[in-house]
Amino acid sequence: MDIQLDRTSRIPIYLQILNRFREMIISGAMPEGALLPPERQLAQELGLNRSTVLSAYRELKKEGLVEARVGRGTTVLPLPSQERSDTENATLSWRHIFRTDTARSQSPLLRDLLALSERKDVIPMSLGLPAPELLPVDLFQQIQTDLARELGPTLLQHSPTEGVTELRETLCDLAAERGISCDPTETLILSGSQQGLDLASRVFIEPGDTVIVEEPTFFAALQTFNAHQARLIGVPCDQDGMRTDLLAEILERRHPKFIYTLPTFQNPSGSVMSLTRRKELLQLAYRYQVPIIEDDPYCDLRYEGDSVPSLKSLDQRGLVLYLSTMSKVLFPGLRVGWLLAPREVIRRFTLVKQSMDLHCNTPGQWVINTMLRDGHYQTHLNKVRRAYACRRDIMADALRKDAPSGFEWTKPKGGFYFWCRLPDEVERSQLLAESAAAGVSFLPGWPCFVDDPGCTYLRLNFSFAGKRAVETGVARLLEALHHSCRKQSISAREAGGTPPIV
């Protein structure tokens, strides 16, 4: 790539890279569909830190000149139509009307992953969804019929922004089973727990505010906080969860708006925060008066070991906001989640929510209420626990059988995911390409970090695909991994010489 850098110039290096790519795109030297070099590769070629190249690529995306797609890299977009004499027949360039910050802060990764759920030619180990064949569809149809007979038009009418009262009461009973004391006025029904993250961002975050997250963490949460221009600080995790000793040092210097954590079967790592760490985290929150958002979508999906109390159940001062969802066990398409929080917070969230979607899906709320109230949820939960534990074990055996040297992973005690570290010699873009060609997908680890982690991780889901597909998917992935390692080895031998220190 012909990029000449003037390291003595007062123009920042990332802007020099940006200007050169912009020039090549506008001149036609890089036409529509042309592929930009992977960030890591270009950084190595130029002797730079990868974050410098990443900054240039982000600005190109902001200007609407390129787009990044999972498994396809960063490609050049078509240029806006040039000014024409016949303006009435000109094509409108929407990219010049969109807000510029949406191009910078939003990634298509989540959309692309969900699109894989409809693909028949790909084994999607990148998703975070329950098994479709295990969903109780017949029961769902029967409940809808019974509700239509019982409620009549009410089933299809508007419902309160806070949520159907009966469902909020039922969820308080479920919360009590989880050791949490609350009442319906402290409960808000959400369009999936993802909406709770967006509401928290809208209510709490002003541009430049600090938010503390675990590393790694749920990539869609990072996208949401970034979209609201938060300054993110990642706290590393170990086998016991978030490093509270490092968190204490950060809280001494900064006062964040909130701390975001998934303490139970964390996404993506599958780890569980120890009871000691949970108590330490709460004490730090009390000392520095910082709220905690506890995201708890997987707590019911435990396959072995003893449960650990939620942060919300341990909280004595009302600083924990508790998010959960039905989407990991029942009917993700209904998009029913909920928030437990102090009344003042619920009131403010409700005012913001009403301008977003007025209220959640009314029939879906009634269906979930019936599933919980009549014991169907627990029956189904017992069934899927057995099925997912089996699929987890199949994935563990397949990884143990064929994983190459340097491939590390941890078998989770619950949740949906294996968190894997790849051998250092594997180039992630190469593995993505090889896996796509092999008909298997995974979630690359880098979107789960605030900054580049410096090594390559990936997340594998075992819940969505069937037992045989799990085994086949792992075999395809590991073959792609072996192939990537061989290609990297050949490339290194052909390059020869001493690699640059960057």
Q: What is the pLDDT of residues 436-459, one digit of tens each?
A: 889 999 999 989 999 888 788 999
Centre a 10 Å sphere on the Cβ of residue 339 and count the other Cβ atoms it contains. 25
348 in the same domain as 214: yes
Q: Element (H or E) spanning 215, and its range?
A: strand 210-215
Q: Specify whether the CB–CB gap between 258 and 224 falls below 8 A.
A: no
Mean of the per-residue pLDDT values of the chain: 89
Of 105 and 187, the one with more pLDDT: 187
193 in the same domain as 74: no
pLDDT in tens, 191-204: 999 999 999 999 99
pLDDT value at 500 more than 60? no
At 204 the pLDDT is 96
What 3-state class would DSSP assign to 66?
strand
Q: What is the DSSP string of 41-55?
A: HHHHHHT--HHHHHH
State pTM to two decimals: 0.79
At 472 the pLDDT is 96
CATH number of the domain within which 350 lies: 3.40.640.10
At 495 the pLDDT is 45
Q: How far is CA 314 from the centre of its chain?
A: 26
pLDDT in tens, 370-401: 999 999 999 999 999 999 999 999 999 999 99
pLDDT value at 268 more than 70? yes
* Burial degree of 266 (CB within 10 A; 0-12, 13-18, 19+): buried
Quick one: average pLDDT of 230-255?
95
pLDDT value at 491 more than 70? no
Quick one: average pLDDT of 149-171?
97
Of 422 and 99, the one with more pLDDT: 422
Q: Specify whether the CB–CB gap between 296 and 174 falls below 8 A.
A: no
pLDDT in tens, 273-318: 999 999 999 999 999 999 999 999 999 999 999 999 999 999 999 9
Q: Element (H or E) spanning 419, and its range?
A: strand 417-421
256 in the same domain as 386: no
Q: Which two structure tokens, joined as six digits, stand for 193?
A: 């727990």
Q: Element (H or E) spanning 220, and its range?
A: helix 219-227
Of 391 and 82, the one with more pLDDT: 391
383 in the same domain as 370: no
Q: What is the DSSP string of 272-329?
A: ---HHHHHHHHHHHHHHT--EEEE-SSTT-B-SS-----HHHH-SSS-EEEEEESTTT
Q: How many domains does the structure of the chain reveal?
A: 3
Quick one: average pLDDT of 346-359?
95
**CA-based nearest residue to 174, from 389, 337, 348, 347:** 337
400 in the same domain as 282: no
Examine the fold and report which residue of 321, 340, 374 is the final residue of a domain before the chain moves on: 374
Examine the fold and report which residue of 335, 352, 374 is the final residue of a domain before the chain moves on: 374
Of 6 and 224, the one with more pLDDT: 224
302 in the same domain as 192: yes
Q: List phi, psi (to 5°) of 54.
A: -60, -40
Instruction: Of 174-178, 347-351, 428-432, give the lowest mean pLDDT range.
Output: 428-432
Cα 472 to Cα 268: distance, rounded to the nearest angstrom: 22
448 in the same domain as 364: no
Domain assignment present for residue 279? The answer is yes
Cα 135 to Cα 326: distance, rounded to the nearest angstrom: 12
Question: CA dist 289 to 199, 258, 282, Å?
Answer: 20, 9, 10
At 502 the pLDDT is 29
Instruction: Of 1-5, 42-46, 232-236, 458-462, give the lowest mean pLDDT range.
Output: 1-5
385 in the same domain as 370: no
Amino acid letter at 92?
Answer: L
At 29 the pLDDT is 84
Cis before 332 (ω within 30): no
E-only strand ranges, 128-209: 187-190
Domain assignment present for residue 4? The answer is no
Position 88 confidence tier, pLDDT thresholds 50, 70, 90: low
pLDDT value at 105 more than 70? no
Domain assignment present for residue 263? The answer is yes
At 106 the pLDDT is 55
Domain assignment present for residue 442? The answer is yes
Cα 345 to Cα 221: distance, rounded to the nearest angstrom: 19
**CA-based nearest residue to 432, from 422, 443, 421, 424:** 443
Examine the fold and report which residue of 355, 374, 393 is the final residue of a domain before the chain moves on: 374
* Site of tokens 């070991």: 305
283 in the same domain as 201: yes
CATH number of the domain within which 394 lies: 3.90.1150.10
SS3 content of the chain, % helix, strand, coil (to 5): 50, 15, 40
Domain assignment present for residue 28? The answer is yes
Cα 138 to Cα 159: distance, rounded to the nearest angstrom: 26
270 in the same domain as 405: no
Position 93 confidence tier, pLDDT thresholds 50, 70, 90: low
At 423 the pLDDT is 87
228 in the same domain as 99: no
294 in the same domain as 256: yes
Domain assignment present for residue 141? The answer is no
pLDDT in tens, 456-471: 899 999 999 999 999 9
Q: Which two structure tokens, joined as six digits, stand for 383?
A: 């069934």
Cα 323 to Cα 195: distance, rounded to the nearest angstrom: 10
**By residue range, what is the domain housing residue 48?**
13-105
Contacts 24+ apart (CB under 8 A), 468-473: 469/123, 470/125, 470/391, 470/394, 470/395, 470/398, 471/394, 471/395, 471/398, 472/123, 473/123, 473/125, 473/440
pLDDT value at 104 more than 70? no
Domain assignment present for residue 301? The answer is yes
Cα 446 to Cα 428: distance, rounded to the nearest angstrom: 9
Domain assignment present for residue 458? The answer is yes
CATH number of the domain within which 100 lies: 1.10.10.10
Q: Specify whether the CB–CB gap between 125 and 473 falls below 8 A.
A: yes
At 406 the pLDDT is 87
